[in-house]
Amino acid sequence: MTTALISDIHANMGALNAVLGDIKSNGITDIICLGDLVGYGPEPAEVVERAMEWRVVLMGNHDEAVVKFACGFNPVARAAVQWTREQLEPGFFSGKTKKNRWTFLSSLPLTHTQDGYFFVHGSPRDPTMEYIFKTDTIDLTGEIPEKIRDIMSRFERVCFVGHTHEPGIITDDAIFLTPTEIDHRYTFEEGRKYIVNVGSVGQPRDGDSKSCYLLLDGNRIEFRRVAYDVNATAEKIFKNTHLDRRSGERLLLGR
């Protein structure tokens, strides 16, 4: 069964709808989300409501910040967290729908494991907060960096992550492969380990404004890019006085 792996939607319903349309067009119904349903974007309630339909949804750092507290967030992200909390947190007289959304967001698991694959938002060492960057594969002595060795030791076969918004594959010999370098497709070799970043649906940061997600079919993966109306989402952010317009501007640049 082919599974769609999505991550970092960041309350961008326009991007999510486009990606879900692409998933459906491929005849796929199984979805795993690696977190960050909310943050930065203008439609947190709508995204959380849709996410309640998926088989697995993990906790991201922005989700965690909304239901708990925003520690280590920059002012732009912190302002979005505060506004998002105001939109989602139910009061005494709130209806069942709002309460159910909050309960769902508050109870998201940190990790998921199946078929030798490990799924997490950030890293096996810190599920919500630790980033795994391309630069982490670089060692001036030519050795495999300790950070990569340690992370690789914490899962069985392949670890799928989000968080950085930059798609790619890190091999067990610390080589970073971009989707373009592998023609967007890759087959995992037996006996080797990989860290795979599935990219971001709602806020890509690899210089391409199109949404990014991944298809997993056995030991094969495919990165997919989906265009959506970036200007419409950016305009919604610009019109929301509680969100920093920089969150919209960066959508246009894919940064």
Instruction: Classify residue 120 as left (phi > 0), alpha (psi -120 to 50) or beta.
Output: beta
How many domains does the structure of the chain reveal?
Answer: 1
Lowest mean pLDDT among 27-36, 86-95, 166-175: 86-95
CA distances from 171 to 43, 48, 49, 174, 243 (A): 36, 33, 36, 5, 38
Lookup: tokens for 77:
């992200």
Residue-wise pLDDT for 205-254, tens only, equals 999 999 999 999 999 999 999 999 999 999 999 999 999 999 999 999 99
Residue 95 structural domain: 3-253
Side-chain half-sphere CA neighbours of 49 within 13 A: 13
* Contact call for residues 158 and 202 (beta carbons, < 8 A): no
Is the predicted pLDDT of residue 70 greater than 90, yes or no?
Answer: no
Q: What is the pLDDT of residues 126-136, one digit of tens each?
A: 999 999 999 99
The pTM (predicted TM-score) of the whole model is 0.96
Q: How confident is the model at residue 170 (pLDDT cuts 50, 70, 90)?
A: very high
For 230, left (φ over 0), alpha (ψ -120 to 50), or beta? alpha
Domain CATH code at residue 114: 3.60.21.10
Name the pLDDT band for 71 (thresholds 50, 70, 90).
confident
